[in-house]
Structure 1
Amino acid sequence: MIKGGYRLKIAVANLANREYKVQEVEEDFAIENIGGRGWGARIIYDSFSQRIDAFDPMNRLVIASGPLSGLLVPCSGKLSISAISPATGLYGDSNVGGGFAPTLKRAGFDALIVDGVAKEPTYILIEDGWVGFKDAKHLWGKFTMDTEAALKRDEGREASIIAIGPAGENLVKIACIGSDFGRQAGRTGMGAVMGHKRLKAV
């Protein structure tokens, strides 16, 4: 049940040990930190007491929808992606429109926090309140649109996907994250953060 536009749940996925937990969110947190960008900024701010490098395994990637995602409101499908930026060394966020934000919410979560670094290329699958970790070695090296096409064949045409291409894999500090066959989260190098974590797609 969506309460006031929120599920009030965050999935926290650890790539290092391939485990996840579900974190309940207080309503006050949602009210005080509005939208996916607000959630991302607050989570990153609260996570670190000192400056860290963007390619530190402790860096967290926050993928968050907003309160209007999934509702019949124009231009409400934005997804916010936040982390310490490899482009600036400071907090960074980027956003992308399309189907991922409402699909994440329908899958049971307002946000996904990705911790740690995977041993091998991995993609995360979220479905009906569950989070899984799958091998992505066969996808590594592919461009984002080819990755999306392959995952839609494997996981179903209704899947909504964010993915990185060779720039992210090679830690280019301005690498984008692609979605919906041509949309891009194009600011602050969030694709390189995914690449460092060996996270090919969600």
Structure 2
Amino acid sequence: MRKDDYIKLWLMDREAGICIFEQSFEEMPKTLASDLVTGFFYAMLTFSNEIASQDVEFIQMRDIRIVFHGQNRLLFAIATKNGADHEFTERLLRDLEHRFQDKYKELLDKGFLNNTAVFEGFANEVEAEIGKKSTTVAFVQNQVDKLKIRYESVKTDFNQLKQSLECDVKSITSSLVRYIKEQVKPPRFKQLDTYRPALAPDRKGKDA
């Protein structure tokens, strides 16, 4: 095993379709947000299960290979250089899966994967297994914080848009009412001549 062959490790919650743990040992050729990367993994694995009822084992690129492991709720994925020993990488992922399940068995049994800060200690075990210090370690809280910030920003923008629309509607309504008043002339009334009905002849007096 060459420790420089290992680039990045992801741990994904299949049920939620999100990355709950991410550990980098060196930078990928291009930087992408972990939620985009694992979203792609999730879509690809879902597709492979739909058409073949099995997971994709690895993705082979020109310089990088991404190997997957995990049949249950947790999915491990690791990016390596093509020179990495593939069999060793598969054994490494199996060992990391067993370590993780043993270390966090109680949380896994209860399904409590939302408070992922408790997984910080697992990063040290990964470093010891690979023999290489990580450059960054990230948890799902980072993504949640970003989503909260984004939500507040969208909420603020929506309220501003709502206020702007209300002002525009009031302005348009006032202008329309003013225009109608200017265009509509008050009705003119013509006084009719007084009509007095003719008196009927007094038949009684005439007959007399």
TM-score by length of 1: 0.25
Question: Could you say which structure has the higher strand fraction?
Answer: 1
Question: Could you say which structure has the higher helix fraction?
Answer: 2
TM-score by length of 2: 0.24
